[in-house]
Amino acid sequence: MRIFLRNTTILFCFLLFVSTSADAQKKSRKMIKADQAFSVEQYNKAAELYKKAYQSAKSRAIKSEIIFKQAECYRLSGNKKRAESYYKRAIKAKYPDVLVYLRYADILRMNEKYQEAKEQYQKYIQLNPTDVLGEMGLKSCDYALNWLSNPTRYQVELMPLINSRFSDFSPSFGNGEYSEVFFTSSRTGGFSNKIDDRTGETFTDIYSSKLNKKGKWSVPTMLTEPINTAGNEGSVVLNKRGTTMYFTKCDVQKKKSLGCNIYVSNRKGKVWSPPTILQIKVDSNTTLGHPTISEDEMTLIFSSDLSGGYGGKDLWIVKKQKRGKWSDPVNLGPAVNTSNDEMFPFLHSDGTLYFASTGHIGMGGFDIFKSYLDENDVYSSITNLKYPINTSGNDFGMIIEKSGERGYLTSDRSGGKGGDDIYQFELPPIVLSIKGVVTDSKTGAILTDANVILSSTDGKVKETKTDNTGSYMFKLDPLRSYEILVSVEGYLNKKLTETTVGIDENKVFIVDAILDPVKKEIILPKIEYDFAKWNLRDKSISDLNMLAEALKDNPNVVVELKSHTDFIGNNRSNLRLSQKRADACVNYLVGIGIDPGQLVAVGAGENEPFVIEVRDGRFKEGDVLTESYIRKIKFKKNKNKAHQYNRRTSFKVLREDYIPQSEGK
C-alpha cells in the first residue's frame, strides 16, 4: 500500500500549508526544509524535520501549523494512531483552518471510534456546511456501525506464512490454477536496504509464493533483476497463463521520486524479460499504476491522476487495438470515480470490477467496492462489500477466483503482523431452509402426519410428513421460487409460495399452514322436496343456513349443489325439475350473502339414484334406489320413502382456490 497509494495528490494540502502561515518570512530553515520534504511526499522524513522545527518555533500560530502538518505526515504514511493524537493537539492549539476537524473525524473513523468521529463531523458541518464531505463522513459512521452489527457471510483470515512485520500488499494470481501468488513487500532482505523517506521502510519489491500439495504456501521468494530494482516495485497483475506481467514501478534517483508508471515483462521458462513501459498516451508528469487486465488481455484498467478526472486518483480504461496498440485512456466516470482516490482495480473473469476508494461512503480509509457492467457496457453503480471485507482501516487490493467464492485482499486492520497484511477470504455456501407448523383453523390443534410437498422452479420435488409437533422442514437452494402444498384427509388443501431470489444471507423461512376442515361430500338429507315441486321446506332452509355459515368460513371453496328427482315422469321433465331445485338452493344462498362464484347448480334428474348409507328399516347399507329396485317394493309406505330419498339435494367441494370477487377487484 505504500507504493503509489501513499503517492496521493498533495498540492491542495501544500498550498494550504503555505497560505496558513502568517508570514512566510518568519519560517525557520528547519520549517522550510520540512515543507520541501512534504512537497515531494517524503512524509516520514518531513515528520522528523517538523519535530525539530517545532522545538525552535516561538510563535503559537507557527507551532499550531507544525502540529497539523505532523498529523498530515502521520496520516499519509499510515501511522493512524499518531495522526489522531496530533490532529487532537492541533485543535487544542487552535489551528485556524476548519479542515482540521474533517481530518480529525476521518482519522477517528479509521481508528473505529465512530461516535467520536460523528461529533467531529458535526462540528465540521457547522463550520463548513457547503462541503459534502462532512455529511458523507457522518453517514459513513452510521453505515459502519450497522455493518459491524450485521456482518456479511464472508470469512476473512490472515495468511501467516506470506506476511511479515512490514508492509505486504497487492496480491495477484500467478496462473489460472491459483497455485501461485505475486505480491509487493517492504520487508528487510529485499533488493535494497535503503529507507524510503516516504514510508520509513525499505523500498518495496515483488515476491512470489507457491501452493504445495498439502495446501500450504511456501516461504516468499523475491524476484530478481530485471524485475526488482533499487526503486519501488508494486501492484502486479499477470495474465491467465502467467507469462506476462504488468506492474507498477516508481523510480527513485538521488532520493528524488521520478513518478510511477506501468511496466510490462514477459516470462520464458523461469526468466523474465527486461521490463518496458506500457505504451499508453498520457500527459507528461502523470503518475499511473495499479494495472488490472481482462482474461482475454484486451482490456486494461489502471489508476492515475490524468487530467480530465474527478480529482485525486481515478480509474481509467484502455482497449487493445490493431497491432497491439492501446487506445487513449477513458475515465470510468462519476459512478466509480470521486474527488478522492480510486485505486487497486481488479477485473474478474465475469467482467465485475473490484476497486478501493476513499471517496464513497465507507467504514474508514480505503474500502473495497464492486461494480457491474450495465446494458451499455458502463460501470454505472457500485456496492460496498461491507464488514468483514471492509473495516475501519485501509482495505484494498482484492482478487477473486473465477468461482467468486474465494480470494485475497490487503488490509491494515488490527490483528495483523504489522503494516499492511494479506488476508485470505472465503464466502461459505448460503444456508437456506423453510419450516412451519400445520394447524386446524377452527380449533388451532396441530395436525400430525400431514403431507407436505415442496416444488421448485427447477423441477425438483421433495415430500415429507409433519412430526408429532405438527412441524415440517426443508432445505432450500438460492435463486429459486417454491410452492408448498399441504394436505390432510378431512381438510382443504393449502397452497403456499416462497422464494429465495434476492436473498444473500443465511435465512430460515417460517411458513405455517392453517387448514380448513371439510368433508369429502356432504349429503343434506333434510333438503327434501314434494312430488314435482322445487320450493324449499322450512327444515331445508335451516340446513342451507348452516351451509352458508360453512361457506363464509371457507371463502376459497367452490361447492356443487346437485339436485335429484324420483323416476316418476319422463327424463326430460325430471332434468328440468332437478335444475329448478338446485337453482332454488343457490338463489337462497346468494340471497343471504354467499358469493355466487362459490356455487355451482347441477340438475341430475333421475340419473343418480340415492345409495343407502345407514340401514333404515327395509333399506340396507349399500342399496341403490333404482327404478327396478323401487318397483319391487311391495308396501306403498316404503315405496314412498324410497321416492323421498331420491328427491334430494347434495353438495361436494369442487375447488379450493377460488378468489372472492372482493379480492379479485
Tell me: pLDDT of 127 over 80.
Answer: yes
Q: Where in the chain is the domain with CATH 2.120.10.30?
A: 155-426
* Closest CA relative to residue 152, chosen from 334, 321, 390, 364: 390
Which pLDDT score, from 0 to 100, does residue 256 have?
57
Distances (CA, A) of 422 to 176, 198, 225, 419: 20, 21, 24, 10
Which pLDDT score, from 0 to 100, does residue 526 have?
61
Tell me: pLDDT of 159 over 60.
Answer: yes
Predicted TM-score of the model (pTM): 0.72
Q: What is the mean pLDDT of the segment spanning 367-390?
A: 94
Distance separating alpha carbons of residues 252 and 229, to the nearest angstrom:
10
Name the CATH topology of 11-149: 1.25.40
Which pLDDT score, from 0 to 100, does residue 492 have?
85
Which pLDDT score, from 0 to 100, does residue 166 have?
94
Contact criterion met (CB below 8 Å) for 332 and 348: no
Which pLDDT score, from 0 to 100, does residue 255 have?
53
Which pLDDT score, from 0 to 100, does residue 552 have?
80
Phi, psi of 97, rounded to the nearest 5 degrees: -80, 130
Q: Where in the chain is the domain with CATH 1.25.40.10?
A: 11-149
Which pLDDT score, from 0 to 100, does residue 26 have?
65
Tell me: pLDDT of 508 over 60.
Answer: yes
DSSP assignment, residue 323? Answer: G
Name the CATH topology of 155-426: Neuraminidase (2.120.10)
- Beta-bridged to residue 376, according to DSSP, are none
Q: Return the percent helix, strand and coil in the chain, to nearest 5.
A: 25, 30, 45
Q: Is 175 exposed, middle or buried (0-12, 13-18, 19+ CB in 10 A)?
A: middle
Residue 645: pLDDT band (50, 70, 90) is confident
DSSP assignment, residue 446? Answer: B
Q: Where in the chain is the domain with CATH 2.60.40.1120?
A: 432-515
Which pLDDT score, from 0 to 100, does residue 522 have?
44
Phi, psi of 409, rounded to the nearest 5 degrees: -150, 170
269-273, 621-625, 657-661: range with highest mean pLDDT: 269-273
Q: What is the mean pLDDT of the segment spanning 53-81?
A: 94
Q: Which three cell numbers stand for residue 514?
A: 392453517
Phi, psi of 567, rounded to the nearest 5 degrees: -90, 0
Which pLDDT score, from 0 to 100, does residue 519 have?
53
Which pLDDT score, from 0 to 100, does residue 152 have?
92
Residue 13: pLDDT band (50, 70, 90) is very low
Higher pLDDT, 25 or 473: 473
Q: Where in the chain is the domain with CATH 3.30.1330.60?
A: 521-664
- 521-664 architecture in CATH? 2-Layer Sandwich (3.30)
* Closest CA relative to residue 233, chosen from 252, 215, 216: 252
Q: What is the mean pLDDT of the segment spanning 61-69?
A: 96
Which pLDDT score, from 0 to 100, does residue 520 have?
43
Q: Which three cell numbers stand for residue 280?
A: 499508453
Contact criterion met (CB below 8 Å) for 443 and 515: no
Tell me: the pLDDT tens digits for 265-276? 999 988 999 999
User: What is the rounded average pLDDT for all residues in the chain?
Assistant: 89
Tell me: pLDDT of 6 over 80.
Answer: no
Lowest mean pLDDT among 11-20, 306-315, 551-560: 11-20
Q: What is the mean pLDDT of the segment spanning 219-238?
A: 93
185-194, 278-287, 471-480: range with highest mean pLDDT: 471-480
Which pLDDT score, from 0 to 100, does residue 518 have?
72
Name the CATH topology of 432-515: Immunoglobulin-like (2.60.40)
Tell me: pLDDT of 395 over 90.
Answer: yes
Which pLDDT score, from 0 to 100, does residue 207 have?
97
Of the chain, the percentage scoring pLDDT greater than 70 comes to: 93
Distances (CA, A) of 333 to 81, 307, 314: 34, 13, 9
Burial state string for 120-132 with b = 16 or more CB within 10 A and e = fewer than 16:
bbbbbbeeeeeee
